[in-house]
């Protein structure tokens, strides 16, 4: 019987380049899933610091790759003996030096100036190990309302909280509010929206890790939120390249990305849905809403094709219908395998969570709405909890979902 192997998400950086150290610290500061330890020494000066740090991966900045530094690098890799992956960074070196570095079986070799995106991806690949079957990409979930007032934002935010704190998929998580006109993710969490998309819409190349970090809002739980101040009087459509660039950058630094989509179909909607691992349509148990839902499913299949397989979450779900109302069997018959599950109607709990800007599970971890959402988003965690109660070991995925 084999248990889940716990990942060591501690990275040790060895460098005397203060600018590179600062850039790396900024790159990892937003992620709670990775702990960065800095050793500001040249590789030739190392004694036993790396071993003492018990790292999951090591970044060694050679700066200039001369023979003395390469010999020191070789001593380090021998001491680690393939137990800890090593990423080497250098300003540049000739073919013979590169050959020596490759022969040391390092996990990766990056040439300065190193983009933070490349460095983060390389580190997470190293932490996950080459024997993993993971694709290395962020896990992206898009939530789109089938009608107004169905609770799409609430479900998206609570999903993000579940992923962020999950026993099986806990990792850095970012919520992206793409409802630029009426978005309310920041308000629901009592945060100041800081994403000024007008600042980059004409110069999308300006959006880098540093600017992204300045535009993120951070919830006390550690959840990151990218939300723009709402402009109710402006119905604006941004170029798809801008939205794609934003999501691509967010995906490079977070393990889980949860997208709160607007109901309106924009030129970039298709691209976002295609790029998501999970697409959820939020609906409620009324005839008009279910009709809208069916039309939306048909529209997605018509515009995008069947590569995107949306699943429907019925909010305020009532298995036993009121007299003359819709029954659960009607919903299941209409949606078939598109039906992801129902969320119970618990207005008092949800209202309190929204008013306080906290996760539902912080108020009542055993509430029906929390358990319902877990069954949809984290079925493996419910299985894990059941296994523990019965005395079995649970099997789940590693802590780090994404390597990109």
**What confidence tens digit (pLDDT) does each residue in 298-357 have?**
999 888 887 789 999 999 988 765 555 778 788 888 888 899 999 998 989 999 998 998
Number of H helices, E strands in the chain: 16, 13
Do residue 95 and residue 74 come from a single domain?
yes
Number of domains in the chain: 2
Sequential DSSP letters for 367-384: -HHHHHHHHHH-HHHHHH
Question: Cα–Cα distance between 4 and 103 in angstroms, integer?
Answer: 32
Q: Say what angle helices 152-165 and 347-356 make with each other, to 10 degrees.
A: 70
Give the range of the structural domain holding residue 118, as residue numbers without chain letter.
10-128
Residue 86's Cβ-side half-sphere holds a number of Cα atoms within 13 Å equal to 26
The residue out of 93, 128, 163 marking a domain boundary is 128
Query: What are the structure tokens assigned to 321, written together?
Result: 């219908």
pTM score, whole prediction: 0.63
Do residue 120 and residue 186 come from a single domain?
no
The residue out of 128, 161, 184 marking a domain boundary is 128
Q: Using alpha carbons only, give the angle 259, 211, 224 rounded to the nearest 5 degrees.
A: 35
CATH for 332: 3.40.50.300
Question: Cα–Cα distance between 146 and 289 in angstroms, integer?
Answer: 7
List pLDDT tens digits, range 55-68. 788 999 988 778 88
| DSSP designation for 115 | P
Do residue 172 and residue 279 come from a single domain?
yes
What's the pLDDT score for residue 241? Answer: 79
Do residue 145 and residue 291 come from a single domain?
yes
What's the pLDDT score for residue 81? Answer: 67
What's the pLDDT score for residue 93? Answer: 65
Do residue 215 and residue 352 come from a single domain?
yes
Q: Say what angle helices 368-377 and 152-165 make with each other, to 10 degrees.
A: 70
For residue 31, the tally of other CB atoms under 10 A from its CB is: 23
> Left (φ > 0), alpha (ψ -120 to 50) or beta: where does 341 sit?
left
- Does residue 133 lie in a domain region? no
Do residue 20 and residue 169 come from a single domain?
no
- Does residue 195 lie in a domain region? yes
Q: Are 213 and 26 in contact (CB under 8 A)?
A: yes
CATH for 25: 3.40.50.2300
Do residue 202 and residue 329 come from a single domain?
yes
Low-confidence ranges of the chain (pLDDT < 50): 1-5, 130-135, 383-404
What's the pLDDT score for residue 382? Answer: 55
- Does residue 320 lie in a domain region? yes
- Does residue 3 lie in a domain region? no
The residue out of 128, 155, 185 marking a domain boundary is 128
What's the pLDDT score for residue 396? Answer: 27
- Does residue 4 lie in a domain region? no
- Does residue 56 lie in a domain region? yes
- Does residue 107 lie in a domain region? yes
């Amino acid at each position: 019987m084999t248990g889940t192997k716990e990942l060591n998400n501690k990275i040790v950086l060895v460098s005397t380049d203060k600018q590179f150290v600062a850039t790396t610290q900024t790159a990892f500061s937003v992620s709670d899933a990775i702990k960065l330890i800095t050793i500001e020494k040249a590789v030739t000066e190392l004694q036993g610091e790396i071993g003492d740090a018990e790292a999951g991966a090591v970044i060694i900045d050679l700066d200039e790759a001369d023979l003395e530094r390469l010999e020191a690098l070789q001593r380090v890799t021998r001491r680690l003996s393939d137990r800890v992956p090593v990423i080497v960074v250098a300003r540049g070196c000739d073919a013979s030096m590169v050959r020596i570095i490759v022969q040391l079986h390092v996990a990766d070799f990056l040439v300065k100036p190193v983009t933070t995106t490349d460095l983060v991806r390389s580190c997470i690949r190293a932490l996950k190990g080459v024997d993993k079957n993971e694709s290395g990409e962020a896990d992206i979930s898009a939530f789109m309302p089938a009608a107004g007032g169905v609770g799409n934002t609430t479900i998206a935010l609570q999903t993000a909280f579940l992923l962020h704190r999950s026993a099986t998929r806990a990792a850095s998580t970012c919520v992206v509010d793409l409802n630029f006109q009426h978005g309310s993710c920041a308000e629901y969490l009592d945060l100041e929206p800081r994403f000024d998309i007008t600042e980059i819409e004409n110069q999308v190349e300006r959006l880098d890790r540093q600017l992204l970090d300045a535009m993120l809002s951070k919830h006390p739980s550690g959840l990151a939120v990218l939300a723009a101040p709402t402009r109710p009087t402006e119905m604006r459509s941004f170029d798809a390249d801008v939205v794609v660039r934003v999501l691509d950058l967010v995906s490079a630094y977070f393990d889980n990305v949860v997208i709160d989509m607007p109901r309106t179909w924009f030129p970039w909607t298709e691209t976002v849905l295609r790029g998501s691992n999970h697409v959820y349509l939020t609906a409620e148990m009324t005839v008009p809403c279910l009709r809208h839902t069916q039309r939306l499913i048909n529209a997605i299949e018509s515009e995008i094709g069947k590569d995107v397989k949306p699943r429907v979450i019925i909010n305020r779900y009532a298995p036993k219908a009121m007299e003359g109302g819709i029954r659960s069997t009607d919903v299941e018959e209409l949606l078939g395998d598109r039906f992801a599950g129902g969320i119970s109607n618990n207005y008092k709990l949800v209202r309190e969570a929204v008013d306080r800007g906290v996760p539902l599970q912080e108020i009542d971890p055993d509430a029906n709405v929390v358990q319902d959402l877990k069954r949809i988003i984290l079925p493996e965690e419910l299985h894990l909890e059941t296994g523990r109660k019965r005395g079995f070991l649970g099997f789940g995925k590693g802590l780090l979902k994404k390597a990109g």
